[in-house]
Amino acid sequence: MTREAEPLGGGKGEMVLRPLEEGDVLLVALWLNRDPLRKWFGDPEDWLSEIREREGRFSFLRHFVALLGEDPVGFCQYYRCADADEEVYRSFPREGTYSVDYGLGDAACLGKGLGRELVRCLSERVLSLPDARRIVVAPDRENEASRRTLLRCGFVLDEERGVFVKERD
């Protein structure tokens, strides 16, 4: 059960992250093409090409579907920052630094604590990796919901770098 007083999602069960399967790609495409994800993720084709090439050029990305009970409610991914070589993360140590992306697929899921549960599950998974020391995330500055979620999940805003950081305990 989650750490909420009541089960999330109307008692449908615990949130789990399942590795993305080929059969999930159409659902993720649907989510990426409508709000709330379209607003924050930009061009869906950029994300979908990474998913389609997840066993090739983008094999360093680990994609998941978030399930509440048996119902898919969102998707997420994590990766070693050294593999992605994104400028925003270059000021962090190459070893042990990961980043995540996450989103709920349906606007009906918003405001129910599911985003927080998704980030919590994903953070636990990443920080359980033997080499993981920290997670750094750079949400859009206007995405207040995501920024609040990160803070509620134990991330700290590094104002100098403009990213949220969660260190392994």
Which tens digit of pLDDT belongs to each residue from 69-114? 999 999 999 999 999 988 889 999 999 999 999 999 877 788 888 9
pLDDT value for 85: 82
pLDDT value for 10: 44
Report residues of the chain scoring pLDDT below 50: 1-11
Domain boundaries, the chain: 15-167
β-pairing, 71-80 with 62-68?
antiparallel
pLDDT value for 12: 56
State the virtual CA torsion across 113, 7, 24, 33 in degrees, nearest 10. -30
Q: If one looks up domain 15-167 in CATH, what number appears?
A: 3.40.630.30
pLDDT value for 113: 87
Give 86-92 contacts, CB < 8 A, sequence gap 24+: 88/138, 88/161, 88/162, 88/163, 89/136, 89/138, 89/163, 91/161, 92/134, 92/136
